[in-house]
Structure 1
Amino acid sequence: MQFLAHLSPFWAGVAGAVIAGFLGTAVGGVPVMVVRSLPERLGNALLSFAAGVMLAATFFSLLLPALELAREETSGRVPAAIGVIIALAIGGLVIAMTHRVTPHEHFGRGREGPHVQRIRRVWLFVIAIAIHNFPEGLATGVAAGNPAPHMPGEIPGLGVVIGIGLQNMPEGLAVAVGLLSLGYGRARAFMVAAATGLIEVVGGVAGAAAVSVSHALLPWALAFAAGAMLFVISHEIIPETHAPETGGTISATVALFIGFATMLFLDHTLG
Structure 2
Amino acid sequence: MEWSNIYLAFGLTLFAGLATSIGGGIAFFAKRTNTTFLSYSLGFSAGVMIYISFTEILGEANLIIGTYFSESTSAWLTFMFFIAGVAITALIDKMVPTHENPHEIRSLEQMDNGRPCPGRKLLRVGVFTAVVITIHNFPEGIATFMAAVSDITIGVSIALAIAIHNIPEGIAVSVPVYYATGSRKKAFWWATLSGLSEPVGALFGYFILSLFSSNIVLGYVFAIVAGIMIYISFDALLPAAHQYGKHHTTIYGLISGIIVIGISLMLI
Mark yes or no: TM-score above 0.5: yes
CA distance in 1 between counterparts of 2:128 and 2:249 reads 29
Q: Which runs of 5+ in 2 are unaligned?
A: 107-122
1:86 counterpart residue number: 80
- Give 1:21 deviation, angstroms: 3.3
1:60 counterpart residue number: 55
- Give 1:252 deviation, angstroms: 1.0
Q: Which residue identity is paired with 2:144?
A: T
Q: Which residue identity is paired with 1:166?
A: L
Query: What is the aligned-residue RMSD (CA, Å)?
Result: 3.2
2:10 counterpart residue number: 14
User: TM-score w.r.t. structure 1 length?
Assistant: 0.75
2:231 counterpart residue number: 231
1:206 counterpart residue number: 204
CA distance in 2 between counterparts of 1:96 and 1:106 reads 14
Helix, strand or coil at the partner of 2:104: coil
Helix, strand or coil at the partner of 1:145: helix
Change (3 A) 1:261 1:191: farther
- Give 1:8 deviation, angstroms: 4.2
Q: Which residue identity is paired with 1:170?
A: I
- Give 1:28 deviation, angstroms: 6.2
Change (3 A) 1:233 1:131: farther
1:33 equivalenced with 2:28 (yes/no): yes
Change (3 A) 1:129 1:230: farther
Q: Which residue identity is paired with 2:13?
A: A
2:259 counterpart residue number: 261
Change (3 A) 1:161 1:210: same
Tell me which moved more, 62-71 or 33-42.
33-42
Change (3 A) 1:128 1:238: farther
Q: Which runs of 5+ in 1 are unaligned?
A: 111-118, 147-156
Tell me which moved more, 177-186 or 207-216.
177-186
Count of residue pairs the alignment pairs up: 245
Helix, strand or coil at the partner of 1:242: helix
2:116 counterpart residue number: none
CA distance in 2 between counterparts of 1:140 and 1:101 reads 22
Q: Which residue identity is paired with 2:152?
A: L
User: TM-score w.r.t. structure 2 length?
Assistant: 0.76
Q: Any idea what the Cα deviations from partners look like across 1:11-61, whole Å, max 9, x if unmatched?
A: 454334224433x54456554431133133333222222222221221233
1:168 equivalenced with 2:162 (yes/no): yes
Q: Is the 8 A contact 2:49 2:233 kept in 1?
A: yes
Helix, strand or coil at the partner of 2:101: strand
Q: Which residue identity is paired with 1:102?
A: V
Helix, strand or coil at the partner of 2:68: helix
Q: Which residue identity is paired with 1:167?
A: A
Q: Is the 8 A contact 1:45 1:252 kept in 2?
A: yes
Q: Is the 8 A contact 2:60 2:219 kept in 1?
A: yes
- Give 1:130 deviation, angstroms: 3.4
Quick one: percent identity of the two aligned structures? 23
1:152 counterpart residue number: none
Residue 159 (structure 1) aligned to one of 134, 153, 157: 153
Helix, strand or coil at the partner of 2:30: coil
Q: Any idea what the Cα deviations from partners look like across 1:189-238, whole Å, max 9, x if unmatched?
A: 33333333322212222223323331321111011011112112222222
1:108 equivalenced with 2:104 (yes/no): yes
Q: Is the 8 A contact 2:9 2:155 kept in 1?
A: no
- Give 1:123 deviation, angstroms: 5.5
Q: Is the 8 A contact 1:134 1:202 kept in 2?
A: yes
Q: Any idea what the Cα deviations from partners look like across 1:93-140, whole Å, max 9, x if unmatched?
A: 111112223323245379xxxxxxxx9565565455434432322122
- Give 1:181 deviation, angstroms: 4.4
Change (3 A) 1:21 1:108: closer
Change (3 A) 1:168 1:228: closer
CA distance in 1 between counterparts of 2:199 and 2:154 reads 14
Q: Is the 8 A contact 1:136 1:164 kept in 2?
A: no
Q: Which residue identity is paired with 1:142?
A: M
1:43 counterpart residue number: 38
2:109 counterpart residue number: none
CA distance in 2 between counterparts of 1:82 and 1:52 reads 25
Q: Is the 8 A contact 1:105 1:125 kept in 2?
A: no
